[in-house]
Structure 1
Amino acid sequence: MNRKSISLIIGLMSVALLGVMAMQYYFIRQSYHLKTQLFDESVMAAINTVALKVEKDEALRFLNNKESRENKARENQENEARRSSQEEESTAYANRMRMKQAKLRSDFKALEQQVKRRYPGAVLLDNDFYETYMKDPVLRSHVKYEVTIQQAYDEAGRVFQQQEMGIYADRKASQIIKAKDDSVRYFIVDPIVGEFVISLPPRVDAKLEGEIRQLEQQAKVRMASVYMDSVKASGSKEGSALENLADEFERSKKSVMQRIDPKFMEEELRQELKDREIALAFNFNISNGKRDSIMFQFASNKAVPDVNEAYTTVLFPSDLSGERAVLSVFFPDKSSLLMGNMKVMLISSATLLLVLIACFTFTILSIIKQKKLSAMKSDFMNNMTHEFKTPVATIMIASESLKDSEISQDQSRVARLAGIIYDENIRLGNHIERVLNIARIEKGDLKLESEPIDINDLIGTVVDSMALQLQKNKVEIEFDLNTEPLIVLGDELHLSNVIFNLIDNSIKYTNHAPHIYIQTRSHGNHVNIILRDNGMGMNRDQLSKIFDQFYRIPTGNIHDVKGFGLGLSYVQDIIKRIGGTIKVKSEINKGAEFEITIPLYKP
Structure 2
Amino acid sequence: MTVALLGVVAMQYFFIRQSYILKAQLFDESVKAALNAVAAKAEKREIMQLADAQRKNKEKLEREQRKLEEQLRLKTEIEKLREKQAELRLAFLKQEEALNEQFPIVIPIENNEFYETYLNNPRHRHLVSIDYLSNIVIDNGFQRNDNSIGLSAMRKVPVTKAKDDSVRYFIPMGPSATNASGLNFAVKAFPPRQDLKMNPEIARKEQQLKLLQANTLMDTIAILSGKNPQVVEDFAAEIELYKRPLSQRIDIVYIKSELEKELSTRDINSPFNLEIKDKNTTLYAFANFSHEKPSPQNLYVTELFRSDNERSSGRLAVYFPNKSNILMGNMTVMLFSSIALLLVLLGCFAYTIFTMLRQKKISEMKTDFINNMTHEFKTPVATIMIASESLRDPEIASDQMRATRLANIIYDENIRLGNHIERVLNIARLEKDNLKLEHRDIDINDLAQAVVDSMELQLHKNGAQVHMHLDAADAIVVGDELHLSNVLFNLIDNAIKYSSESPDITIRTKNIHKHIQITVADQGIGMSRDQLSKIFDQFYRIPTGNRHDVKGFGLGLSYVSDIVKRCGGKVQVKSEKDKGTTFEIMLPLKG
Short-chain TM bin = 0.7 to 0.9
Q: Is 1:43 equivalent to 2:60 in the alignment?
A: no
Task: Give the C-alpha shift of residue 312 in structure 1.
Answer: 1.0
Task: Give the C-alpha shift of residue 254 in structure 1.
Answer: 1.3
Residue-by-residue CA offset, 1:431-483 (whole Å, 9 max, x unaligned): 00000000000111000001111111101111111111111110111111116
Between the aligned partners of 1:197 and 1:462, the Cα distance in structure 2 is: 106
Distance 1:333 1:197, change over 3 A: farther
TM-score by length of 1: 0.72
* Partner SS state of residue 573, structure 2: strand
Between the aligned partners of 2:267 and 2:396, the Cα distance in structure 1 is: 108
Q: Is 1:454 equivalent to 2:443 in the alignment?
A: yes
AA aligned opposite 1:298: F
Between the aligned partners of 2:538 and 2:266, the Cα distance in structure 1 is: 67
Distance 1:354 1:546, change over 3 A: same
Distance 1:479 1:378, change over 3 A: same
Which residue number corresponds to residue 273 of structure 2?
Answer: 283
Residue-by-residue CA offset, 1:525-575 (whole Å, 9 max, x unaligned): 000011110111110110000000000001111111110000000000000
Distance 1:468 1:249, change over 3 A: same
Q: Is 1:433 equivalent to 2:422 in the alignment?
A: yes
Distance 1:241 1:429, change over 3 A: farther
Task: Give the C-alpha shift of residue 407 in structure 1.
Answer: 0.7
Tell me if structure 2 keeps the 8 A contact 1:455–1:485: no
Distance 1:145 1:25, change over 3 A: closer
Which residue number corresponds to residue 24 of structure 1?
Answer: 12
Q: Is 1:307 equivalent to 2:294 in the alignment?
A: yes
Between the aligned partners of 1:459 and 1:136, the Cα distance in structure 2 is: 85
Distance 1:542 1:435, change over 3 A: same
Task: Give the C-alpha shift of residue 305 in structure 1.
Answer: 5.9
Out of 39, 46, 66, the position equivalent to 1:101 is 66
Tell me if structure 1 keeps the 8 A contact 2:299–2:319: yes
Higher alpha-carbon Rg: 1
Which residue number corresponds to residue 545 of structure 1?
Answer: 534
Tell me if structure 2 keeps the 8 A contact 1:532–1:594: yes
Which residue number corresponds to residue 216 of structure 1?
Answer: none
Which residue number corresponds to residue 395 of structure 1?
Answer: 384
TM-score by length of 2: 0.73
Distance 1:40 1:470, change over 3 A: same
Tell me if structure 1 keeps the 8 A contact 2:26–2:90: no
Tell me if structure 2 keeps the 8 A contact 1:579–1:598: yes
Tell me if structure 2 keeps the 8 A contact 1:548–1:569: yes
Which residue number corresponds to residue 336 of structure 1?
Answer: 325
AA aligned opposite 1:33: I
Q: Is 1:383 equivalent to 2:383 in the alignment?
A: no
Between the aligned partners of 1:24 and 1:378, the Cα distance in structure 2 is: 44
Q: Is 1:372 equivalent to 2:337 in the alignment?
A: no
Tell me if structure 2 keeps the 8 A contact 1:583–1:595: yes
Task: Give the C-alpha shift of residue 406 in structure 1.
Answer: 1.0
Which residue number corresponds to residue 164 of structure 2?
Answer: 170
Which residue number corresponds to residue 335 of structure 2?
Answer: 346
Between the aligned partners of 1:567 and 1:145, the Cα distance in structure 2 is: 77
Which residue number corresponds to residue 274 of structure 1?
Answer: 264
Taking only the aligned residue pairs, the percentage that are identical comes to 52
Root-mean-square deviation (CA, aligned residues, Å) is 3.9
Distance 1:110 1:585, change over 3 A: closer
Between the aligned partners of 1:312 and 1:431, the Cα distance in structure 2 is: 90
Between the aligned partners of 1:104 and 1:25, the Cα distance in structure 2 is: 55
How many residues end up aligned between the 2 structures? 482
* Partner SS state of residue 307, structure 1: coil
AA aligned opposite 1:553: I
Tell me if structure 2 keeps the 8 A contact 1:249–1:320: no
Tell me if structure 2 keeps the 8 A contact 1:456–1:485: no
Residue-by-residue CA offset, 1:356-382 (whole Å, 9 max, x unaligned): 111111111111111011001101111
* Partner SS state of residue 525, structure 2: coil
Which residue number corresponds to residue 297 of structure 1?
Answer: 285
Between the aligned partners of 1:427 and 1:574, the Cα distance in structure 2 is: 22
Which residue number corresponds to residue 105 of structure 2?
Answer: none
Which blocks of at least 5 consecutive residues in structure 1 are unaligned?
A: 1-12, 75-94, 116-121, 147-167, 173-184, 190-195, 205-232
Between the aligned partners of 2:91 and 2:463, the Cα distance in structure 1 is: 100
Out of 563, 575, 582, the position equivalent to 1:574 is 563
Task: Give the C-alpha shift of residue 56 in structure 1.
Answer: 2.7
Distance 1:136 1:24, change over 3 A: closer
Alignment of 1:512-531 (within 5 A): 512-531=501-520
Between the aligned partners of 1:32 and 1:134, the Cα distance in structure 2 is: 18
Tell me if structure 1 keeps the 8 A contact 2:220–2:235: no
Which residue number corresponds to residue 262 of structure 1?
Answer: 252
Which residue number corresponds to residue 499 of structure 1?
Answer: 488
